[in-house]
Amino acid sequence: MPDPVSWFVIEPGWKVVDAAGEDVGTVDEVAGDTSNDIFNGLAVSTSLLGKPKYVPAERIAAITEGRIELALSKDELEALGEFKEPPTTAEILPEKAGLLRRAEAEVEAPIHDRPESVNIWRRGWWALRRLFR
């Protein structure tokens, strides 16, 4: 049996096998936080036109070069839910962050999908505070 490898090297297209060693699909996407070394799971494509299934990390038995072994049967894999794209993370900026840094954060990790309504008095207060800093 080949040596195990880290989840960092998993690539789309790797073969996925069930607990019995039967081929059940391929890796579609890896879900995790590489900066904190947190592996959440995999999106496994089980058919050409079907939506990928989400397999949580705790249901993965082994990771070897080019192959993922699941701790699931084929039927259990089919019963899993559809993979949903994880939400973006948001970085909380200090109040005095520069304009460029704030604009960059809005593009990289938008916090809201719609603008919040702010009343005219609060907008005026913020404008006055910016003038006297």
34-55 pLDDT, tens digit each = 888 888 899 888 877 778 888 9
Which comes out higher in pLDDT, residue 59 or 133? 59
pLDDT tens-digit map of 74-124: 888 888 877 666 555 555 555 666 766 666 655 555 444 434 444 556 556
pLDDT at 115: 42
Residue 113 and residue 64 share a domain: no
Domain count, the chain: 2
Distances (CA, A) of 15 to 18, 64, 121, 126: 10, 10, 59, 55
Whole-number average pLDDT of the chain: 76
Residue 32 and residue 70 share a domain: yes
Q: What confidence tier does 69 reach under pLDDT thresholds 50, 70, 90?
A: very high
pLDDT at 32: 86
Residue 65 and residue 29 share a domain: yes
Domain that holds residue 15: 7-79
Residue 73 and residue 11 share a domain: yes
66 occurs within a structural domain: yes
Q: What confidence tier does 132 reach under pLDDT thresholds 50, 70, 90?
A: confident
For residue 52, which phi and psi values (nearest 5 degrees)? Answer: -65, 150
48 occurs within a structural domain: yes
Alpha-carbon torsion (55, 56, 57, 61), positive or negative = negative
Q: How far apart are CA 18 and CA 33, in angstroms?
A: 25
Structure tokens at 98: 């520069």
Strand 15-17 and strand 67-70: the pairing is parallel
115 occurs within a structural domain: yes
